Structure 1
């Protein structure tokens, strides 16, 4: 399986209003490094998984909808907790939608890792049909 990974970052505000989250229950800021990996069984005619610029642009488009936003007020998260895991899934699904029009059948998976700091991260992987 071939992979291609690109990175970007985002800053958000949110709260996690449940006792399990301790001090993070209140409104606070978070900065994430977002790593997006796509998987392909075969390379394209240019011997690549996908154009790096194209994939970086797709990730940037998804992140632009989140950057500098209070996720407690974001319509995509109404009634949902915005944990790192939930954000990783939101980003993976947003990129998968963008890939659907251009990927053909070569791209078979999308994974997102969100790094909160050098010692803690969470992610989500999505297999594509």
Structure 2
């Protein structure tokens, strides 16, 4: 399996509901390093997984839509605990939508959100 990974970063504010979250129930900030990995079994006719420039632009555009937002105030996230795991799936799904037809032949897209140097969460979806 071949893969290409591009990276960006995202800064948001949010809060969680539920005793399991302890002090994170209060509004707080989070800065994530975002890795998006594209995989395919065989390289395409140009011997690439996906154009790195395209992947970088689309991830950057997606991140820009969420950056510096209070997710508690975003209609798409109303009533949702925007955990690292949840946000990894949101980014993966939105990224797949953005690259749509240009992603032909990809087998999967995985997104990892690093919330610190010791903790991160990922979501991978097959295409």
TM-score range, shorter chain: over 0.9
1:29 aligns with 2:18: no
Pairs aligned (count): 127
Q: 1:76: which partner in 2?
A: 76
Name the structure with the higher helix share. Answer: 2
Q: 2:117: which partner in 1?
A: 118
**Distance in 2 separating the partners of 1:75 and 1:89:** 17
Q: Runs of 5+ in structure 1 lacking a partner?
A: none
**Which stretch shows the higher mean deviation, 42-51 or 62-71?**
42-51
Alignment TM-score, normalising by the size of structure 2:
0.96
Q: 3-state DSSP class of the match of 1:65?
A: helix
Q: 3-state DSSP class of the match of 1:107?
A: coil
1:45 shift after superposition: 2.2
Alignment TM-score, normalising by the size of structure 1:
0.95
**Distance in 2 separating the partners of 1:103 and 1:115:** 24
1:101 shift after superposition: 2.1
1:46 shift after superposition: 2.1
**Which stretch shows the higher mean deviation, 58-67 or 87-96?**
58-67
Q: Runs of 5+ in structure 2 lacking a partner?
A: none
